[in-house]
């Protein structure tokens, strides 16, 4: 009987896609998926360490698995992958005897072999091991058609792995290594494959997507890559995350403006509105440069929706610096915002050289104030869209009510509507009728036309 696997995923879209790749690799090796951890012969825990105390979450989960082994006499083979695996390495094996193998972020292609080995030698502890090399020249190609994509309508497509920016707060350059670009021909092939399998939208992934330069074609930068992807027949939408403000070029803005499939949305992390905090963060853009970029984007695409990431309470952030973050948010008027309280991360410059001097209470006060401001602005933007007809990609249905569907506008706002589940996977014109704090409500315009035909 085939062995069963379960992958538990924490963290960002990159991790979700790594899990899709690992699932595909395990199935190719003869494993079958299960959703029940009691039924799994192999559990892969794909971890994240970008914020909070992710390590502790991992060890809590490992404790549960260990406890299950103690009670029943057998525990599954456990592999730990992702950023905590890379960061903590064999310390994970020392701390928990529930783990058989620790696999670094650049070694997932070896997962089936390592898991097979662990399955065979499960009862002997001598074969437990960690595979962690971070190779600056690692080949980031990945065989087409293997990843087991979890969403039939939206496909993640990796274009870059790793990051060379070394922002002072960020662990990613240490956990995912140096920036490596995937070949343009392979990216287009991956996207075509996903579209042939039914995807209507692709989402390009990379730490700094707009730093893309094709290793197999010197003329292909990010703007040219968008152009090539836009030409794929059957594809309806292209999104990407995340660009870095300092790498947004006039060519990129022009491609976004011209290409009909590129969504009118840009996630443009700013992190802070204060130039001195940005300097301390090693972001290499100022408040004025960011605001000027926003103005150029809006000039080219007046209807573009912007979203961002903001950190409050970075070392040395004064109340006046935080006021500048508030005033930047007020000036830009983001459609959505992810805000975080600063937390020191291993290996980073901020941990090594700066003092985490903003108290937890003050961080909380600042994030509450920022989120209240964002809620007001978002409410105003959402209310202003009532009455408009927007193209919406219908992507899912409610778990509770069959005729309750959900989708996203080109600007990436969630729209809920009543409709026929056969619409899922289609882009339909939807009239916005109601604004809620985090989503819109609407009615499909074509539904009536269809009924009349
Ligand atoms: N503390 C708080 N937030 C962080 N982020 C990254 N590192 C940290 C940290 N040490 C946030 C940034 C980034 C997002 C993915 O997570 O805003 O853009
Ligand atoms: Fe981290 Fe900065 Fe690289 Fe983004 S650009 S992954 S925040 S180091």
The closest ligand to the CA of 179 turns out to be: 2
Q: Check pocket membership of 97 for ligand 1, CB cut-off 6 A.
A: no
| Long-range pairs for 395-402: beta carbons < 8 A, 24 or more residues apart | 395/151, 395/153, 395/154, 395/424, 395/425, 396/424, 397/421, 397/424
Measured CA to CA, the distance from residue 153 to residue 423 in angstroms comes to 12
Q: Check pocket membership of 342 for ligand 1, CB cut-off 6 A.
A: yes
Q: Check pocket membership of 340 for ligand 1, CB cut-off 6 A.
A: yes
Give distance in angstroms: CA of 21 to centre of ligand 1. 25
Confirm whether 277 is domain-assigned: no
CA of residue 441 relative to chain centroid, distance? 25
Confirm whether 212 is domain-assigned: yes
Last-in-domain residue among 384, 411, 429 = 384
Note whether 299 and 415 are same-domain residues: no
Note whether 121 and 232 are same-domain residues: no
**Above 50 in pLDDT, residue 453?**
no
DSSP secondary structure letter of residue 70 = H
Confirm whether 378 is domain-assigned: yes
Q: Check pocket membership of 172 for ligand 2, CB cut-off 6 A.
A: yes
Tell me what the mean pLDDT of segment 179-195 comes to. 97
Note whether 119 and 8 are same-domain residues: yes
Q: Check pocket membership of 243 for ligand 2, CB cut-off 6 A.
A: no
Note whether 210 and 256 are same-domain residues: yes
pLDDT in tens, 48-97: 999 877 788 899 999 999 888 777 778 899 999 999 999 999 999 999 99
CB atoms within 10 A of CB 217: 14
Measured CA to CA, the distance from residue 197 to residue 155 in angstroms comes to 10
Tell me which of 173, 179, 211, 309 to substitute to probe ligand 2's pocket, judged by most ligand atoms within 8 Å of the beta carbon. Answer: 173
Measured CA to CA, the distance from residue 230 to residue 359 in angstroms comes to 48
Number of domains in the chain: 4
Q: Check pocket membership of 268 for ligand 2, CB cut-off 6 A.
A: no
Confirm whether 234 is domain-assigned: yes
Last-in-domain residue among 328, 349, 384 = 384
From the list 138, 103, 136, 130, the residue with the least C-alpha distance to 25 is 103
Note whether 359 and 393 are same-domain residues: no
Cis peptide before 242 (omega within 30 of 0): yes
Measured CA to CA, the distance from residue 408 to residue 431 in angstroms comes to 13
Predicted confidence at residue 123, as pLDDT, reads 59
Strands 336-341, 305-312: pairing is: parallel
pLDDT in tens, 329-378: 999 999 999 999 999 999 999 999 999 999 999 999 999 999 999 999 99
Note whether 337 and 319 are same-domain residues: yes
Q: Check pocket membership of 177 for ligand 2, CB cut-off 6 A.
A: no
- Sign of torsion over alpha carbons 290, 296, 297, 298: positive
Confirm whether 282 is domain-assigned: no
In order of 313, 328, 358, 359, the CA distances from 364 in angstroms are: 9, 19, 10, 9
Confirm whether 76 is domain-assigned: yes
Confirm whether 219 is domain-assigned: yes
Tell me which of 208, 212, 347 to substitute to probe ligand 2's pocket, judged by most ligand atoms within 8 Å of the beta carbon. Answer: 208
Strand partners, 157: 204
Tell me which of 12, 51, 206, 207 to substitute to probe ligand 2's pocket, judged by most ligand atoms within 8 Å of the beta carbon. Answer: 207
In order of 43, 54, 155, the CA distances from 11 in angstroms are: 17, 9, 17
Measured CA to CA, the distance from residue 199 to residue 202 in angstroms comes to 7
CATH of the domain at 97: 3.40.50.12160
Confirm whether 275 is domain-assigned: no
Last-in-domain residue among 95, 111, 131 = 131
CB 338 within 8 A of CB 51: no
pLDDT in tens, 402-430: 899 999 999 999 999 999 999 999 999 99
Note whether 127 and 154 are same-domain residues: no
Give the list of residues 6+ apart from residue 239 with CB closer than 8 angstroms, or none. 201, 202, 203, 204, 263, 265, 412
Mean pLDDT of the chain: 94
DSSP secondary structure letter of residue 183 = P
Q: Check pocket membership of 170 for ligand 2, CB cut-off 6 A.
A: yes
Note whether 13 and 100 are same-domain residues: yes
Local confidence band at 449 (pLDDT 50, 70, 90 cut-offs) = low
Give distance in angstroms: CA of 340 to centre of ligand 1. 7
pTM: 0.95
Domain of 94?
4-131
CB 85 within 8 A of CB 118: no
CB 329 within 8 A of CB 338: no
Give distance in angstroms: CA of 284 to centre of ligand 2. 12
Q: Check pocket membership of 167 for ligand 2, CB cut-off 6 A.
A: yes
Q: Which residue, judged by its Cα, is nearest atom 1 of ligand 1?
A: 342
Q: Which residue, judged by its Cα, is nearest atom 13 of ligand 1?
A: 309
Give the list of residues 6+ apart from residue 314 with CB closer than 8 angstroms, or none. 169, 271, 272, 277, 280, 281, 342, 350, 358
Give distance in angstroms: CA of 311 to centre of ligand 1. 6
pLDDT in tens, 133-176: 888 878 899 999 999 999 999 999 999 999 999 999 999 999 99
From the list 427, 424, 442, 436, the residue with the least C-alpha distance to 388 is 442
CB 428 within 8 A of CB 446: yes
Local confidence band at 126 (pLDDT 50, 70, 90 cut-offs) = low
CATH of the domain at 353: 3.30.750.200
CATH of the domain at 408: 2.40.50.140
């Amino acid at each position: 009987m085939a062995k069963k696997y379960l992958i538990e995923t924490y963290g960002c879209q990159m991790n979700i896609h790594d899990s899709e790749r690992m699932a595909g690799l395990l199935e190719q090796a003869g494993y079958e998926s299960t959703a029940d951890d009691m039924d799994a012969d192999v559990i892969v825990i794909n971890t994240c360490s970008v914020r909070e105390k992710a390590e502790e979450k991992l060890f809590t989960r490992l404790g549960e698995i260990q406890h299950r082994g103690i009670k029943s006499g057998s525990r599954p083979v456990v592999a730990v992958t992702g950023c905590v695996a890379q960061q903590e390495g064999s310390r994970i094996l020392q701390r928990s005897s529930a783990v058989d193998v620790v696999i670094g972020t650049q070694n997932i292609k070896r997962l089936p072999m390592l898991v097979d080995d662990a399955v065979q030698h499960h009862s002997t502890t001598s074969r437990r091991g960690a595979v962690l090399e971070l190779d600056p020249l690692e080949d980031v190609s990945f065989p087409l058609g293997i990843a087991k994509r979890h969403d039939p309508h939206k496909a993640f497509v990796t274009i870059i792995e790793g990051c060379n920016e070394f922002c002072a707060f960020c662990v990613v350059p240490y956990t995912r290594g140096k920036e490596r670009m995937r070949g343009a021909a392979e990216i287009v092939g991956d996207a075509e494959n996903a579209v042939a399998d039914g995807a209507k939208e692709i989402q390009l992934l990379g730490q700094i997507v707009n730093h893309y330069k094709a290793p197999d074609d010197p003329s292909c930068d990010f703007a040219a890559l968008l152009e090539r992807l836009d030409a794929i027949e059957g594809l309806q939408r292209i999104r990407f995350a995340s660009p870095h403000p300092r790498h947004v070029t006039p060519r990129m803005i022009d491609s976004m403006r011209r290409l009909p499939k590129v969504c009118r949305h840009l996630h443009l992390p700013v992190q802070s509105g204060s130039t001195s905090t940005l300097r301390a963060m090693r972001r290499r853009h100022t408040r004025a440069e960011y605001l000027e970029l926003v103005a150029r984007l809006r000039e080219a695409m007046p209807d573009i929706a912007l979203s961002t990431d903001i950190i409050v309470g970075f070392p040395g952030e004064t109340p006046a610096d935080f006021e500048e973050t508030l005033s930047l948010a007020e000036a830009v008027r983001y459609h959505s915002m992810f805000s975080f309280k600063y937390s020191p991360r291993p290996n980073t410059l901020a941990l090594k050289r700066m003092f985490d001097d903003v108290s937890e209470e003050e961080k909380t006060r600042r994030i509450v104030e920022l989120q209240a401001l964002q809620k007001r602005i978002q409410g105003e933007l959402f209310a202003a869209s009532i009455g408009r007809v927007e193209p919406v990609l219908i992507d899912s249905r409610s778990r509770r009510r069959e005729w309750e569907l959900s989708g996203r506008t080109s600007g990436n706002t969630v729209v809920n509507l009543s409709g026929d589940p056969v619409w899922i996977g289609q882009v339909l014109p939807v009239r916005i009728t109601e604004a809620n704090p985090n989503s819109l409500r609407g009615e499909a315009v074509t539904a009536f036309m269809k009924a009349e035909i």
